[in-house]
Structure 1
Amino acid sequence: MKETNMTVILLCIWTFVTLLNVTLTTNIHWTKFRLEDESYGITCSSSEYLFIRNDVPDEMACSKICFLHNKCLTSVYQPEDVLCIGCEAMSFHPLPNDPNLLQYTRRDFNVDCKDAFLHALKNNKNVDTGVYEIRLLSLEIIDVYCDMTTGGGGWTVIQRRINGSTSFNESFSAYEDGFGDVRDEFWLGLRYIQEVTDAPSETRVVEDGRVYLTNFKLLGEHYIFSNDEDSKEESLFEVGSRFVTYDQDTTMKCATETGGGWWFPDNKTCQERNLNGVKVAFGIKINNTIMVRRK
């Protein structure tokens, strides 16, 4: 009698778990993103869940949580339940039209140069320094210059000055959107730099041949420089400083004085070092580079 009761109990538990898994995999089965106006789906079964959270405000926050998880390949978000699920699976299938699911993939594209570096190694491809296409967490596609040799490779270059051919005395909107030629001299763009460094990142700065290593993160609409640890390189990036240009300058007119956009504190004497400041005439070799790499 006892054995019969135990069997019934175990059968009930098994049925409940099975129904629960069916419910979850039915409601949370597809992951989608836009690519050339076509939708693709990605299966994600309950056995491949890495995490389930019900405190995530929107789909992009869910995508970023997945991005910061080393094993997460797909993020699945259900707005009605503010439910975020991270998965290891990423198998493409046709996607049913389901407006109730807002979900994004992660590892089918490069989100930065470190991704490009690791994907090339995984696929036994050559890893060459040069221009790569990346898809940001906002799903915008941009070209970036990747340094694949320095310090182990995987660096996303956000500023490069090598010959003085490009003027860096530009407006705030130009610095926000980026300018120059990614294959030559350029500034990537504050809004793109902010996305690329949203995950904890290390920064390598070369100023006329001298190398600095520090941290890098930009906060808010003024792109305020933040550094999560003490650094002796703070003379290059003063923590708490907002990014200013000649048309959105500090009270001391530091950007106007140095001739380029940079992080300057308000109500302080302008520091001499500005890697975007007026440099030299075209053709004279200089060596200023800023690049970042996700930790």
Structure 2
Amino acid sequence: MTVASAQKSTTVRSHVRPPRGLRTAFSLAERVAPALVARAAFFLWCRPTGTRRTTTIPGGTRWTLPLGRGHVVGQTWGSGPRVYLVHGWGGHRGQLAAFVEPLVAAGHEVVAFDALSHGESGPGAFGPRQATMPEMAATLAAVVAARGHAHAIVTHSFGGSTTTLALLDGLTADRVVLVAPMADPLPYTRDFAEVLGFGESTRQRFLALMERRAGRPLTDFDVARGVEQLDGPLPAALVVHDTQDKEAHHADGERLARSWPGARLVTTTGLGHRRILRDPDVVAEVVKHVTAA
């Protein structure tokens, strides 16, 4: 692992793999019904892919928090200053299991949960298997309000984006860890449109619909920009990102680390987007940051 300098990249990646024929259908439908295509694209964009229903981590105490139309399912281990584990898009709490035992051994209470429309939790505001960035941020804030102050929040992937949005919206924490984060998900919509086969005018309709449903400007989702512009304190941050991450580009981690006052960037090579969560050196680095005085 190395501490890396920041560089900028415009690389974008799609978070969906469309069924065969869907691209052709989108391309043809766009010619006669662009508004319908934009709505269909929004539905797919807000649909987490690959989320599992059984996500339990061994041990701990299971809990349920009623929230909105559904409920949040989570687990708690240990006692001491509280550390929250936040998964990414289409993920689940079990993906961060490697952090539980070391953090408990270091004298912390650990809280892990599945976001709405993910894992074992209930549906979000738009129904089953539909989620949004603001809703995931609000879910974290609701869990912290119910369980207690966050000494630290350890995040993965899109969970870093939603956690940063929650912090910008007023959530407080002493320390934060962003593993393989996304600095701004909106550039990914260009690749999303290319994969599905619709053009720029329809993409703009899609973005306008996204903004209306979110109830806030899309610029709010550029969390690196929000961090740069924030006139107030932020938690001490550690950013960990792999140079061979194919889902959230390493440049996103660089940009967030560069934007975040006092943040430290740790770069790995060869761990990718998910194996990084199980790497012993990464786990040790995260625990070291969480337990630092």
Shorter-normalised TM range: under 0.3
The one of the two structures with greater contact order (alpha-carbon pairs below 8 A, sep at least 6) is 2
Higher-Rg structure is 1
Higher strand share: 1
- TM-score under structure 1 normalisation? 0.27
Higher helix share: 2
